[in-house]
Amino acid sequence: MMFNFQIEKPKTALIDYQTTYDFIALGLGPAGMNGALYAKRKGLKTLLVGYDLGGQLNNTSDVDNYLGLGNIDASMMIQKFKDHITALEVPMLTEVKVTSIQKNDLFEIGLDNGETLRTKTLLYAFGGNPRKLGVPGEQLYASKGVSYCVTCDAPFFKKRHVIVAGGGNSALDAVIDLSRIASKVTIVHRSQFKGDLTTVDQIKALPNVNIHLETQILEIQGDITMTGVRVFEKKTQTESVIEADGIFIEIGHIPNSTLLEGLVELNDSKEIKVDRFQQTSIPGLYAAGDVTDNPNKQIIIATSEGAVAALSATSFINQKGDK
């Protein structure tokens, strides 16, 4: 029996809301965790803040492309990351939502527990939320066939037919996971595959997987629960209905940058613009991971960006001479 044990020991040292931190990392995904780890090792007064430990890693079943870890269960990976930062005694404040971020002399971070944190430098690593298809029926059948989390909802589709929307690595991984449970998996993507060739080959070899490329989903249809999707096939310029019990939407993420809107420069996709030091348009404010304008959304890249941000923050503080 598996236990995905993530609970923390009740805090022995309470969070100090009166102090001025050197570095606060917002976001409990790989970018925030590694940023906090690097900052702590540099001797900065550090705090890691967020809601769900693991961030978007929680939506993944296993990871196959993180150097040195081989094929690893995502919850095990979160545990390993957590063990590492716990061993270094990086202070962590979990289960809180950030409500506001202001820049005065210091950065002031409002929390939903009514407290405010103050810091000289800030790393914003709030990742993203699953992107929606934006078609009729998607909201109506949410949790009635429409899902954005394979690890959460795959068990409902044992021996049933499911569709996966998307063509990137997340979609391909979802297809592999679901093919072990569902009777049939149909992948529908509006263009060509964007994922790794090795995974594409793996999928093509699966006996219960159908592939519809250059095919656009127009509508999710159903009754009390979802019954299928109406699609448009570009090649034949025809519409048809694919009957299915569920659909997993894996078409990327929307950056979770709302809290910095109006404060830092964002690109047209609302991603935070950063330079090679992970600095945003405001000195001392850094961003890392999937929320930035780096087009490559990968765990190992997010992790390394967190490290770059922490090292840049250290130089920033040293140059200002207030450390």
Partner 1 sequence: MEKLFSQDVANQIKDIFKGMVNPITIKLYVDGNCDTCQETKQLLSETAELSDKINLDIIELADAGDDLVTYGIERTPAFIFLDEKGTYRGVKFNGIPAGHEINSFISAIMEMSGVEFKFSDKVLERIAKINKPVDIKVFVTLSCPHCPGAVQTAHRLAMLNSNVKGEMIEAQTFYDLSTKYNVSGVPKIVINDKIELLGNQPVEEFLKKIESL
Residue 55 DSSP symbol = G
CB of 322 to partner 1, least distance (A): 31
**Which pairs from 81-90 meet CB under 8 Å and 24+ separation?**
81/30, 81/33, 81/34, 81/54, 82/6, 82/33, 82/53, 84/37, 85/33, 85/36, 85/37, 85/40, 85/48, 88/37, 88/40, 88/41, 89/40, 90/36, 90/37, 90/40, 90/46, 90/48
| H/E run at residue 188 | strand 184-188
Nearer to partner 1, 188 or 226 (CB): 226
**Considering the complex, what minimum distance in angstroms separates the CB of residue 263 from partner 1?**
22
Say which residue the tokens 């569920």 belong to: 246
Q: Which is nearer to partner 1, 149 or 218 (CB)?
A: 149
Decide: helix, strand or coil at residue 269.
Answer: coil
Nearer to partner 1, 157 or 316 (CB): 157
Q: How far is the CB of 172 from partner 1 (least distance, A)?
A: 19
* C-beta closer to partner 1: residue 42 or 82: 82
Residue with Cβ nearer partner 1 (110 or 252):
110
Supply the residues annotated as catalytic: 149, 152-153
CB atoms within 10 A of CB 207: 6
Helix orientation angle between 169-179 and 197-204, rounded to the nearest 10 degrees: 30
Question: Least distance (Å) from partner 1 to the CB of residue 48?
Answer: 17
> Residue 151: which of 180, 120, 183 has the closest Cα?
180
SS3 (DSSP) at 298 = coil
DSSP secondary structure string for all residues of 135-165: -TTTTTTBTTTEES-HHHHGGGGTTSEEEEE
Q: Given the rule CB under 8 A, which residues bind partner 1?
A: 1-10, 51-52, 54, 58-59, 75, 95, 97, 112-114, 142-147, 149, 151-157, 224-225, 245-246
Q: How far is the CB of 8 from partner 1 (least distance, A)?
A: 8
